[in-house]
Amino acid sequence: MRLDEMIARIVAAKREQWGSGDGPLPPAGQRPRPAREGRFASALTQSDIAIIAEVKPRSPAKGDLWPVEKAVPLAKTYEANGARAISVLANEPFFGGSPDLVAQAARAVEIPVLYKDFVVDPREVELAHACGADGVLVVVRSVDDSELADIVATARGLGLDPLVEAFDEAEIERAVRVGATIIGINNRDLNTFTVDVDRAARLRSLIPDGVVSVAESGLRDRSDVERAAGDGFDSALIGETLLRSEDPGSALRSLTGVPARRRVAPGKHA
């Protein structure tokens, strides 16, 4: 199955879930954090290139990645070894996560937590807030322009930072139009799952100055992180490289050891 087909399948399931009124409820006993927009974004610009380390129990394409019962200790390991933020999968059918897992991680660590799912309804942003998340992922190709604007506005109204993810030039333009302050570029080709770092660098040049940029997918080692830093990315979201490591803490430390990031002018690359 191609990546775009997989995304369409996940999004269709999410729309059916929220359209039928069967969206998940907030975890029992969890209290929303006070509004503090900017905390997640700030964490991504406090180092040469910040690592967002991911907690993902499984992948539709790769199968099981990490036991869900060990997910919270993993989040603590990430925090102890240099992660600037943690991404937690909230989707159960396809990724083995849940809103409750997001809430558990938010209670367990002090660094910001990103609620990661294919969000298609503003009510899920409210759920992310109730889980104690600091940021929420919004995948541009999952929503139309009106939905994108509503989800971004809802997030900001609740004090969450929306990370708006794009795959191509047109999606970056859509993200910019709604005033996204954090834009992620997914490095994977929608047809083949392959990673093209040259394409990611070219797309990075389309992100305006002052907007936080995140490189997503396919970063495997220190050289990949250094390349992203040299291309002007503020942050890198890394999951499977850490999840498949025998020692995620050690793997994370090796990924964070990058030189000072060189700022580049839009349209130019190191």
Q: Where do the domains of the chain lie?
A: 3-20+36-256
Kindly state the percentage of the chain with pLDDT values over 90: 72
- Residue 270, pLDDT > 60, answer no
The tens digit of pLDDT for each residue in 71-90 reads: 999 999 999 999 999 999 99
43 pLDDT above the threshold of 90: yes
Q: What angle do CA 183, 189, 190 make, to 5 degrees?
A: 90
- Quick one: CA torsion of 116, 84, 252, 124, rounded to 10 degrees? -10
Helices (H) and strands (E) in the chain, counts: 12, 10
Percent residues over pLDDT 70 in the chain: 89
Spatial CA neighbour of 239 closest among 27, 97, 139: 97
Q: For residue 192, name the pLDDT band (cuts at 50, 70, 90).
A: low
Q: What is 3-20+36-256's CATH number?
A: 3.20.20.70
> Structure pTM?
0.90
Given a cut of 70, whether residue 104 has pLDDT beyond it is yes
Catalytic positions: 54, 56, 116, 165, 186, 216-217
